[in-house]
Structure 1
Amino acid sequence: MKNLCFFFIFGVSLFPLLCFSFNPESPLDRRVLVLLDDFSLKSSHSIFFNSLKSRGFNVEFKLADDPSLSLQRYGQYLYDALILFSPSTERFGGSLDLAAVIDFVDSGHDLIVAADASASDLIKNVATECGVDFDEDSSAMVIDHKSYAISGTEGDHTLIASDDFIQSDVVLGKTKIDAPVLFKGIAHSVNAANGLVLKVLSASSSAYSANLASKLLRPPLLSGSAISLVSVVQARNNARIMITGSLDLFSNRLFRTAVQKAGSPFKFEKSGNEQFVTEISKWVFHERGHLKAVDLRHHKVGETDEPAMYRIKDNLKFYVEIYEWSGKSWEPFVADDVQVQFYMMSPYVLKTLSTDGKGLYHASFMVPDIYGVFQFKVDYHRLGYTSLSLSKQIPVRPFRHNEYERFITTAFPYYGASFTTMAGFFFFSIVYLYNK
């Protein structure tokens, strides 16, 4: 009985540590599950997988139809990120299905989906749930007769050399990708009204999606700038997703292939695929652009303690600290567009925060002449960065009866009218009493 009690207490004491290890907000010691159609992909895409391991990720490989597949155990997720390199899989094994993948993302975890011409309805449905639609024609490929990669043979122009990148240092890093990226796969489109989806690598205006095995008798459904080659999604819960129609994009072969874009005199000894995939995977796995806000506090001017409430027209100071994950540690985040709202139904005060360059943001303002229950709100949404949304509630009271000014300047006319009435009544009384 004593031993049983010991193991029970020992297990309970370990439970918080286990919960922390599964915490998706912790960028360290993250576990990645890679689902494959064939274990041969481990060697054909080894450069990409080795880059993940070198950055500290614990990568686990399984076949997509493995009957033991499960993303969680005892209500806790076993992995922090999921990579689907299994485009032809019609059905996942074990307890994994479409709903489980979407729940995984809804819980704040990251996802990479790579498809190709053999993409199944399951993989396409995963992409659709994430806000991206692959071409309805399952045999269609992206073709470009102007921006193709020059090779020894003319080919069918399905090996595209694209350099139309998103202009964001947060998503693709500060080091410019000079060489074009080689892409061979299927097209997808994004909804322009969906602000959560970003096209990271776009097709040129001359590209179109069509079936090579049949004649093109009508205009293609997807063409030009409507085609996205690689897209990313940042959900409202800060989960990040990467979707592409090319599994070869991650392959060792395209990583090492020399590339020359048609119509360009420049030839590169190595494509930009490795740099592109490495940088975008850093963003997807929160190694860059990951923010956290801590120590939100406020107090009256001239004081240091946080009050239980404010009075209207009090002068106050507001502080918050914001840091960015650099891949190894939390570094101060420096920006000039962070704002605080003093909010009740609508913002009564909107103030841009100043920063000391060391992560501390601050502002001073006067409490508005409105009493009620207010909130300090910081809602920060910037392209490529995780969203910050934090608030702190504080009541605001009116003046007490003994806190008002005895004589108000704007009321002087009323004071004058009162004393004039009193004086007039006094003189009228004297005249009335003593005049016959």
Structure 2
Amino acid sequence: MRSILYGLVLGLTSLAAALSAAGNTLLVVIEDEADKAKYSTFWSDLTSRGFQLTYSTPKDTSLGLFHLGEPAYSHLLLLPPKSKGFGPNLTPKLIIEFVNAGSNVLLALSGDSSVPSAISSLLLELDITLPSDRTSLVVDHFNYDTKSASEQHDVLLLPSGSSGKKGIKDYFGVEGLVALPRAVGQVLGNESPLLSSIVKAPATAYTYSPKSDDTEADDLFATGSQISLVTAFQALNNARFTVLGSVAALEDKWFDASVQAATAGAKASKSSNRAFAEKLSAWTFKEAGVIKAGIVTHSLNETGQKTTDITKAGVELNPTIYRIKNDVYYSIAISEWSGTNWTPFTPAAGDAVQLDFSMLSPFHRLNLIPSQQTANATIFTQTFKLPDQHGIFNFYVNYQRPFVTSVEEKRTVTVRHFAHDEWPRSYVISGAWPWISGIWVTVVGWLVFVGLWLYSKPAQPKQDLKATKSDRSTRTSAAEHNMATMATPLHSISAATQTVDKSCPLPVLHLTAEGPKESRLLLLPTELLTQIIEYVFEDSSIGPVTHMPNGIAVLNSSYTASSKLWPLLACRQLYYDHQFLALAYTSFSITSPFANIDARLISLAPSLQSAIRSLTFVADDRHFRMLIAWGNCPFDMPNLQLDTLAIVLLSSSRWHFLFDHTRDLIQLLRRLHNLKRLVFVRNNASVKGSFKTWCNRLIGLILKIDHEQRYLVDPPNLEQVWWSWEYDAKAQTFTLEAAEARPLMGEDEYMRRSLGLMETLRVSVESEEWNPDPRSRVMYY
């Protein structure tokens, strides 16, 4: 008998336990006690799920959200008041503090009465905007209930909040249609990633004010999918704030009301308001969409094992130090609250939990694989090789998705370099084999040479010495004759001795046994010779920048300027006569980001500096910081007269923060002379905020600063050089062409001339892909 009573008490206790993962105390604020009966079914559903409901009115002086500095309730349900607000105990500031403390709020609105200004102020804190006309509601002439709103069309029949988006879980989908009578529409801001729309209005819906019957289309607050009827806000501390545009949707009469859509052939059916209200309140009060991280482990994986039970292998778990190029194993257990207990978490289709192994930026970003499930968790694992970089790294999992609580787990470890006794022997390293072979070839070759030199030739007889001396004197006389012939002026050499060596591209002066023979090339007229030399050097088929098969411009690492200057080595006369022409037609490339470009240019004579027309160098953030020190000409060298200066971004695993140098670069462009064309080549580098976005912001800031310096500064500060621009989306290059500075003119004339430029910039900005980096959305114009 005692065991039966004990089991009965235990069963009742389990039924009374709240299904929420955040507590079971719920404060319901309703202004009129008589209105409680309208929502009796909703209250009974909450009570059956284990919530302890406390009813209060805004006028209750004992009402308070906090007790001893802590939230007095786990959740808050606010029904729309008929007065100007919720009173001094429920100000917007207190409600925001309530959310910041980790509690959840469900706010219902109604189009039957005007929305208090206090609620509008509260929602503006969350970047949610309500219509300025406080009596506005949402009307749709195509998606309404023909039974209850055949004339007003203000009872919307819509499917539930099934997002349908790839990678997002649906916690609000129910069968059938949801009735939203006299709903208040909301418009969500674009800046907050914490906002999500659960139910959006159809494309045919619009906001309507019953007080003004002559509302024009241009005066509408919002239309179509701009309107959110049910909105979810999840704070950084995972507290939830839900805005329901129609409080009447929670009334008993709409929980099982018979509705009929306005579409042709539609039949009457019961509304799904009760099921939708259950799912909406379950998500708001953290009965659904709640996940947490469990055990996090990482260890060495030198044996290549992929089992999750790594404790059996005798490997140390969670070490604080690793070595570069170690194979490591990482696992994290993630659980999801099902309403009664923790269950294994399964991401939505098309979604994955990602692991970042990062220092300042990620060196690895890997999708974690769900390799095993326990009774209450899914274990996500991944194996990878550590980068060849020592320092302080983090195993970082930051899983943030709409309608799901965020999971953030960071484990900091040290990655050291190889110890002295950990380097492999030289004969094991394949790259050392040529050097080892060279050592032994040198040793063997020296021994063979010594052996041959000592033992290969016998001693010469004495009778042959005289013949050797006579042959030596004969060769000496022939050499003296040749030297005398070489001293003879070129014009005195017989034309019959002038031959052309056709095996050499540029025939030059040759020394033969009969004497020197001069090439005919140097005897050509100067104009014809110059055209030939120009034809040789003007070949531009190969340059510092090449294009991949998909059209993207990248650095040509195999290109060298010496490959185009080799004709100057044909003879000294050709070198002195045409060195300036060769420099003008040659594109010079500096591929090392650590090269001292200024020192290389200063080492040249001023005349050689002025002959250079094309220069390409690889740049990182250090080079962009040095641009401001150039002065009025490239590299602060007045002798340098460049036609093209190409800046190729360094392609590596590090990010380029080009937005940090935009303003300094514009100040340089306004005064930069001795340069006709400036080209930026992305070179498949990682640009924070995207390369095209930076180009658009650079142009926008050029227009803005030019306008400020002309009309907001006294006296006007005009630019010394004006630049036209062109962005090649296929090659991913950005070109600036120097032009004459624009004269001083009236502001109206200036704006009229700039209208075409601003329109081109607007079209380019609208074609940008959305980027999660907030700096890419900062507008400079």
Q: TM-score range by the shorter chain?
A: 0.7 to 0.9
Distance 1:119 1:173, change over 3 A: closer
Question: Structure 1 residue 152: deviation in Å?
Answer: 6.3
TM-score, structure 2 normalization = 0.49
Deviations 1:356-411 (A, max 9, x none): 13311111112222111111111112332211111101111111111111213212
Partner amino acid for 2:328? L
Alignment RMSD (CA, Å): 2.8
Q: Structure 2: how far apart are the matches of 1:152 and 1:132?
A: 30
Q: Aligned ranges for residues 26-175 of structure 1 at < 5 Å?
A: 27=21, 29-93=23-87, 95-116=89-110, 117-151=113-147, 154-163=150-159, 165-167=161-163, 170-173=169-172
Number of the residue aligned with 1:274? 274
Output the CA distance in 1 between the equivalents of 2:126 and 2:88: 22
Match of 2:388 among 369, 383, 390: 369
Comparing 421-430 with 153-162, greater Cα deviation is found at: 421-430
Q: Distance in 1 between matches of 2:415 and 2:144?
A: 65
More strand by share: 1
Report the CA distance between 1:27 and its aligned residue.
Answer: 1.0
Distance 1:89 1:425, change over 3 A: farther
CA distance in 1, matches of 2:95, 2:30: 15
* 1:316 equivalent in structure 2: 328
Inter-partner Cα distance in structure 1 for 2:87 and 2:183: 26
Question: How far is the alpha carbon of 1:142 from its aligned partner?
Answer: 1.6
Consecutive unaligned residues in structure 2, runs of 5 or more: 1-17, 302-312, 460-781
Find the counterpart in structure 2 of residue 190 from structure 1: 188
Aligned-residue offset at 1:138: 1.1
Relative to structure 1, is the Cα distance of residues 57 and 304 closer, same or farther in structure 2, using a 3 angstrom cutoff?
farther
Deviates more, 1:162-171 or 1:105-114: 162-171
> Residue 433 of structure 1: CA displacement?
12
- The answer to whether the Cα contact below 8 Å between 1:180 and 1:259 also exists between their aligned partners in 2 is no
Contact 1:372 1:395 in 2 (8 A): yes
Partner of 1:305: 316
Amino acid paired to 1:234:
Q
Which residue number corresponds to residue 340 of structure 1?
Answer: 355
CA distance in structure 2 between the partners assigned to 1:296 and 1:98 by the alignment: 39
Q: Which structure has the larger Rg?
A: 2
Larger mean Cα displacement after TM superposition, 121-130 or 391-400: 121-130
Question: Of Structure 1 and Structure 2, which has the larger fraction of its residues in helix?
Answer: 2
Q: What is the deviation of 1:272?
A: 1.6
Distance 1:433 1:71 in 2: 106
> Identity of counterpart residues, as a percentage?
30
CA distance in structure 2 between the aligned counterparts of 1:208 and 1:41, rounded to whole angstroms = 29
Deviations 1:48-74, CA, capped at 9 Å, x for gaps: 122111111111111023222221122
Deviations, residues 343-365 of structure 1 (Å, cap 9, x unaligned) = 11122222222221331111111
Task: State the secondary structure of the residue aligned to 1:415.
Answer: helix
Gaps of 5+ in 1: 1-23
Tell me what 1:330 maps to.
342
Distance 1:197 1:280 in 2: 15
**Cα gap change, 1:89 to 1:47, in 2 (>3 Å):** same
Of the candidates 197, 200, 204, which is equivalent to residue 199 of structure 1?
197
1:379 is aligned, of 398, 405, 414, to 398
Q: How much does 1:299 deviate?
A: 1.2
- 2:283 is aligned to 283
Structure 1, residues 266-295: CA drift from partner, whole Å, max 9, x if none? 344421211111111111111111100011
The separation in 2 between residues aligned to 1:164 and 1:318, in whole angstroms, is: 39
Moved more, 139-148 or 412-421: 412-421
Amino acid at match of 1:399: F
1:45 is paired with a residue whose SS is helix
Q: Which moved more, 1:405-414 or 1:282-291?
A: 405-414
Counterparts of 1:365 and 1:389, CA distance in 2: 20
The residue type paired with residue 181 of structure 2 is: F
Alpha-carbon distance in structure 2 between the residues aligned to 1:132 and 1:87:
19
Tell me the residue number matched to 1:357: 373
1:40 shift after superposition: 2.0
Q: State the SS of the aligned residue for 2:270.
A: coil
DSSP-derived class of the 1:198 partner: strand
Task: Tell me, in whole angstroms, the C-alpha distance in 1 between the residues paired with 2:184 and 2:88.
Answer: 28
Q: Quick one: structure 1 residues 395 and 321, their matched pair in 2 at CA, closer, same or farther if it must change by over 3 Å?
A: same
Which stretch of the first structure deviates more once superposed, 319-328 or 224-233? 224-233
Where 1:328 maps in the other structure, the secondary structure is coil
Deviations 1:177-206 (A, max 9, x none): 213423223222122454322222222222
Shift of 1:427: 8.5
Structure 2 residue matching 1:362: 3-state secondary structure: strand
Q: Which sits farther off after the overlay, 143-152 or 117-126?
A: 143-152
- TM-score, normalized by length of structure 1? 0.86
Does the CA contact (< 8 Å) of 1:161 and 1:261 recur in 2? yes
Tell me by how many angstroms 1:173 deviates: 4.6
Partner of 2:581: none
Are residues 421 and 31 of structure 1, via their aligned partners in 2, closer, same or farther at CA, if it must alter by over 3 Å? same
Cα separation, 2, equivalents of 1:125 and 1:74? 27
Please say if 1:413 is aligned against 2:434: yes
Q: Distance in 1 between matches of 2:385 and 2:286?
A: 38
* Separation in 2, partners of 1:97, 1:349: 46
Q: Is the 8 A contact 1:82 1:111 kept in 2?
A: yes
